[in-house]
Every structure is written in structure tokens, then in C-alpha cells.
């Protein structure tokens, strides 16, 4: 939009329009709605526009509204003669007149046609691409043992993309590794239901639950001694296995649980197998150690 020869108010109007409409339209498809407070049809159309924009947000569609009473200069530039008037803008240029699309289905049909031929950037896809390397960095740092730095990375990602289950789960696992169990629990408690059911979150929750069993060194030594002294005492074996994993001795924990399963898989309603599966979930089902240990479990169960 040209800005030469404009008075101060007109220049301010152009600047607002450039910031609120033109700049977003460089990568997004903007639904531009010209409306007014006194316009009944405008108010009837607003919920339809808002719903469609929300439904298509992950496809790169955004809604921008221009009050013709407050922005008369902008309305004049678009030669708005009646309202509501609705355009689709992309890269600063009108690409379609959407005014006659008054129903949700009509509007979505036109948007589908536009999106099929325009290089519009999808919001969720862009965000996913942006945070992917950060997530990989966080996982690498956490695997390397620097839980404090990993927590900082995952916290930053969670602020950028609070809907990312992997970021939230990574934060919980990092806090758990730091021994900040109450803080990790608070992160889980604040998650919306749709995230709380995610597999990554389930893995983090399992890690937190297991970490709550972490013993002092002296306690772990005592439990180990008790288990060695009474190899047929399932309660002693189970107590040691739980504490061993929480204390970082996952090989000992797995060996003990596998021995218990081989001896009596039905003990305590299959508690040893349940604990081992929880350990698998906490470590991660794609982990090579988990894959190897699962094969050992399968040999016992089906061999």
C-alpha cells in the first residue's frame, strides 16, 4: 500500500494495517473482515469467521478485522462500499473476495481452493520444524547426564510450544533426574487432558513414579544384602529391584525381576512383570537396553 503524500493519521493507519495484516500475510493466508459495530450482518458473520479461522489455524489461516468507522482510510483504499466485506490476502495482495461466503461450509470450500494453490505456511508445521532441533538437543543433553541444562532447554521449548508432549515430558524427566520430584509432579498436574494421555507423558510419569522409590546408599546396600540372603523371599527381591532401578542400577533391577518372573510369574498378581514393564516405559521402548531386556523377558514367558 502506497504511503507517499499521506498525512500523519493516514500514515499511522497504513502502519497499523501493515503490522496487523500485511506482515502476517507474507506467510499466512489472512481473512480480512471489514465490519462495524452497528452492522447486524457483520455481527452474525463474526462467529463463522472466527470458527473457520480457528479450525484452519494449523493450515496457516489467520483472521484480521478492520473496523470501517475507525479505519476509514484503509476501507477507502479497498473501495469498501458495503459491509460486511471479506477478502483473502496473501503476501500483501487480495487473492479472493470471500464476501458472499456466509456459511462455514462455503468459506471452508473457498479456503481449501486457495490453500491448494498458494504456498501458505502451516502454523503447527512451522512450529514443529522450529522446535525439532531443540528437542533433539534436549534429549542429547539429558542422555549425556546434564539434567540441569536439559531442564532449561525443555522449559524453553515448553514456553514456545506448550502443546508439545515431547517438550513437557522431557522437562518432567529432566526434573526427575535432578531429584526435583515435586516440581516434576507440578508440571504433570498442569497438563491438559489431551496431553496427559500422550505416550511420551506416560513415559515421564513412569520415570517419576519409579524415582520416588530412590533409596539412600546405605538403604540400597541393606536391601541388596537382604535380597542376597533370602533369594526365595519375593518381597525382599521386589523391594531391592524397585530400589535398585530408582538408584540407577537398572541391570541389577532387571536381573532380579527376571529371576522372580522365571520363578513365579503369578506372584502378587504379576507384580514383577508389571514393575519391569514400567521400567521399560520409563527408559523408553526404543532404547537398545530395553529391546535386549524385552527379549530376555520373552524367552522366559514363551521359551
Is residue 42 part of the annotated active site? The answer reads yes
| 172: annotated active-site residue | no
Radius of gyration for the alpha carbons in the chain, expressed in angstroms and rounded: 29
Residues 195 and 168 sit within 8 Å (Cβ to Cβ): yes
Geometric angle at alpha carbon 94, from 92 and 98, rounded to 5°: 135
Active-site residue (options: 39, 75, 272, 282):
39
CB neighbours (10 Å) of residue 71?
19
CB 82 within 8 A of CB 145: no
Q: Tell me the Ramachandran region of residue 6: left when phi exceeds 0, alpha when psi lies from -120 to 50, beta otherwise.
A: beta
Residue whose C-alpha is closest to residue 154's, from 124, 210, 169: 169
Could you tell me which residues are beta bridge partners of residue 90? 93
Of 31, 42, 153, 220, which residue is the catalytic one? Answer: 42
- Cell numbers standing for residue 14: 497504513
> What's the longest Cα–Cα distance across the chain?
93
| Strands across the sheet containing 85-90 | 61-67, 29-35, 85-90, 93-97
6 class by beta-carbon count within 10 Å (0-12 exposed, 13-18 middle, 19+ buried) = middle
* Residue 62 near residue 89 (C-beta atoms within 8 A): no
**Grid cell digits, residue 52:** 473457520
Enter the DSSP assignment of 84.
S
Q: Please list the active-site residues.
A: 39, 42
Amino acid at each position: 500500500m502506497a504511503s507517499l503524500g499521506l498525512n500523519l493519521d493516514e500514515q499511522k493507519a497504513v502502519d497499523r494495517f501493515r503490522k496487523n495484516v500485511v506482515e502476517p500475510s507474507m506467510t499466512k493466508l489472512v481473512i480480512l473482515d471489514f465490519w462495524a459495530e452497528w452492522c447486524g450482518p457483520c455481527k452474525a458473520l463474526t462467529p463463522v469467521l472466527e470458527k473457520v479461522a480457528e479450525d484452519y489455524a494449523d493450515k496457516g489461516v489467520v483472521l484480521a478485522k478492520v473496523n470501517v468507522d475507525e479505519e476509514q482510510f484503509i476501507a477507502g483504499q479497498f473501495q469498501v462500499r458495503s459491509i460486511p466485506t471479506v477478502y483473502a490476502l496473501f503476501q500483501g495482495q487480495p487473492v479472493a473476495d470471500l464476501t458472499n461466503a456466509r456459511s462455514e461450509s462455503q468459506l471452508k470450500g473457498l479456503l481449501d481452493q486457495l490453500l491448494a494453490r498458494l504456498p501458505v505456511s502451516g502454523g503447527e508445521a512451522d512450529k514443529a520444524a522450529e522446535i525439532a532441533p531443540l528437542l533433539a538437543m534436549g534429549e542429547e543433553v539429558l542422555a549425556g547426564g546434564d539434567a540441569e541444562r536439559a531442564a532449561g532447554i525443555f522449559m524453553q521449548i515448553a514456553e514456545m510450544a506448550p502443546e508439545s508432549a515431547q517438550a513437557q515430558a522431557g522437562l518432567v524427566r529432566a526434573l526427575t533426574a535432578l531429584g526435583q520430584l515435586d516440581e516434576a509432579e507440578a508440571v504433570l498436574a498442569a497438563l491438559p487432558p489431551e496431553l496427559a494421555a500422550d505416550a511420551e507423558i506416560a513415559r515421564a510419569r513412569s520415570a517419576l513414579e519409579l524415582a520416588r522409590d530412590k533409596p539412600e546408599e546405605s538403604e540400597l546396600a541393606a536391601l541388596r544384602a537382604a535380597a542376597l540372603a533370602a533369594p526365595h523371599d519375593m518381597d525382599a527381591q521386589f523391594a531391592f529391584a524397585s530400589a535398585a532401578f530408582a538408584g540407577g542400577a537398572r541391570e541389577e533391577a532387571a536381573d532380579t525381576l527376571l529371576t522372580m518372573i522365571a520363578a513365579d510369574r503369578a506372584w502378587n498378581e504379576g507384580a514383577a512383570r508389571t514393575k519391569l514393564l514400567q521400567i521399560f516405559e520409563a527408559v523408553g521402548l526404543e532404547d537398545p537396553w530395553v529391546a535386549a531386556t524385552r527379549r530376555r523377558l520373552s524367552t522366559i514367558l514363551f521359551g
